[in-house]
Amino acid sequence: AITTTSSTTAETAGTVEVHDLGEGVQSIRISTLSADGARNALTPALCAALSQAFAAVSARSGLRAVVLEGTDETFAQGGAEACEAMLSSGLVQAIAACPVPVLAACAGDAVDAGWWLASLGDQLVASEAGHYGYGPGTLGLQASQASLMRARHGAAFMGRAARQVPWSGRAWRASGCAFAVVPREQLSSQVAQWTQSLSDKPGEALRLLKAHLTQAQRAAAVPTWPLVGTGEALAAEPAVLSIDGHAVADVLRQFEEALESAQDKVTVYLFPYPLRDLHPNATEKSVRVWCAKDRAKAWRDALADRPLPEPTNAKDRERCQAKVDAALAIGRAWALRGTPALIRMDGKVLSGAMPVQDVLAWLNSQ
């Protein structure tokens, strides 16, 4: 049985197909082409279609495993906007919420956002000829997804990411990667072997396996786009704390100052989370912080209620508004009602400001 979900827009054409492979195994296959010739570019439309496909297969009875596939040439690709689309569409959360293990079968290249998508799978199998990783100019992507990549590929990944060159499957295998790399013609049999091993497991065993495998994905469902210090964040310890706050609260400024005393113990990523009902100007301030050339200074100015420069043009404003909207979507998904809100790497949430010693104790209890 095949279910086809169209992702056709003015910019892309193609499909997301759901195939029933039998014995409780479903395959979600991506095949799209953008107007600029990019294959399987993770546009908002494609991310939404994938999210819907995962929701549909997750609801099916007797489900044992899900295989996510692209074309022979390209698994998926995209830049920072694609990463935001993956979050705002609910795709990241949908993969983590899938009740059974997900295998990313990468016959073709998985670069930048496509590499993140592949790494969100509970298991990954790649081809020798494909290329996987981050390309030039994607330092921000690497920093934002560093914690997931450490969990998926080990600490050595950070050294590879710093080179900003996607590696071939052969090079990944030679480096001792944790995922399987096979000749492209053997990839189908590798996938079949993996799905067969799962189809024999009891349902409870599958649920326990999924819970174990998805710890990193649940943490990845929290957006991690550092407002400041992208380069430093890449070299820092894994991010263990996210703070979402509107830009006018004195308590947030005081809380941030308190956390500075523990900066050798935690890495803090800041995300404007404007509470529009309480603070009508918070959304505009958040957009201006995102658009500022010096975001660190703009953030401090916003907390002090000092004037902020306007975006330089309409396109820049639209780009920054999309970042704020994506953070709001994630906040709603996590049912955040106030700020500051702390989200630990295991997905647990703690609301409200508190002494820094209590924050550290909470972080260390995971």
* Mean pLDDT score, 282-301: 86
* Predicted local distance difference test score (pLDDT) of residue 75: 97
Within-domain flag for 360: yes
191/312 same-domain check:
no
- If one counts the domains in the chain, the total is 2
Within-domain flag for 82: yes
214/234 same-domain check:
no
- β-strand partners of 244: 271, 341
Who wins on pLDDT, 195 or 200? 195
At 50, is the pLDDT very low, low, confident or very high (cuts 50, 70, 90)? Answer: very high
- How is 307-349 classified by DSSP, letter by letter? --PPPSSHHHHHHHHHHHHHHHHHHHHTT--SSSEEE-TTS-E
Within-domain flag for 261: yes
| CB contact at 8 A, 321 and 334 | no
- Rounded distance between C-alpha atoms, residue 169 and residue 152, angstroms: 16
Q: The CATH number of the domain where 354 resides is what?
A: 3.40.30.10
* Predicted local distance difference test score (pLDDT) of residue 247: 36
- Rounded distance between C-alpha atoms, residue 322 and residue 89, angstroms: 12
Helix axes 44-58, 80-88, angle to 10 degrees: 40
Closest to 134 in 3D by CA, of 58, 82, 61, 97: 82
| CB contact at 8 A, 342 and 359 | yes
| CB contact at 8 A, 28 and 18 | yes
- β-strand partners of 269: 242
pLDDT surpassing 50 at residue 8: no
CA dihedral of residues 306, 312, 316, 320 (deg, nearest 10) = 0
Q: The CATH number of the domain where 95 resides is what?
A: 3.90.226.10
313/234 same-domain check:
yes
Within-domain flag for 225: no
* Predicted local distance difference test score (pLDDT) of residue 269: 67
What would the pLDDT profile of 218-259 be if each residue is shown by its tens digit? 554 444 333 333 333 222 333 333 333 443 345 556 666 666
Q: State the DSSP code for 366.
A: -
Place of tokens 């953030």: 299
22/130 same-domain check:
yes
* Predicted local distance difference test score (pLDDT) of residue 12: 46
199/236 same-domain check:
no
157/283 same-domain check:
no
Amino acid identity, position 240: V
* Predicted local distance difference test score (pLDDT) of residue 268: 66
- Of 186, 220, 254, at which residue does a domain stop? 220
Which tokens go with 140? 């921000």
109/23 same-domain check:
yes
115/245 same-domain check:
no
pLDDT surpassing 50 at residue 324: yes
- Of 161, 186, 220, at which residue does a domain stop? 220
Which tokens go with 100? 């059974």
- Of 180, 199, 220, at which residue does a domain stop? 220
Strands 341-343 and 241-245: antiparallel
Burial of 151 (C-beta count, 10 Å sphere; 0-12/13-18/19+): middle
Q: Phi and psi (nearest 5°) for 54?
A: -65, -40
35/9 same-domain check:
yes
* Predicted local distance difference test score (pLDDT) of residue 229: 33
| CB contact at 8 A, 246 and 327 | no
* Predicted local distance difference test score (pLDDT) of residue 253: 60
Strands 123-127 and 180-182: parallel
- Give the domain range for residue 287: 230-364
| CB contact at 8 A, 323 and 311 | no
Which tokens go with 219? 């943490």
| CB contact at 8 A, 139 and 230 | yes
187/265 same-domain check:
no
299/264 same-domain check:
yes
Within-domain flag for 197: yes
At 47, is the pLDDT very low, low, confident or very high (cuts 50, 70, 90)? Answer: very high
- Rounded distance between C-alpha atoms, residue 35 and residue 299, angstroms: 37
- Rounded distance between C-alpha atoms, residue 350 and residue 359, angstroms: 9
At a CB cut-off of 8 Å and minimum separation 6, what does 37 contact?
none
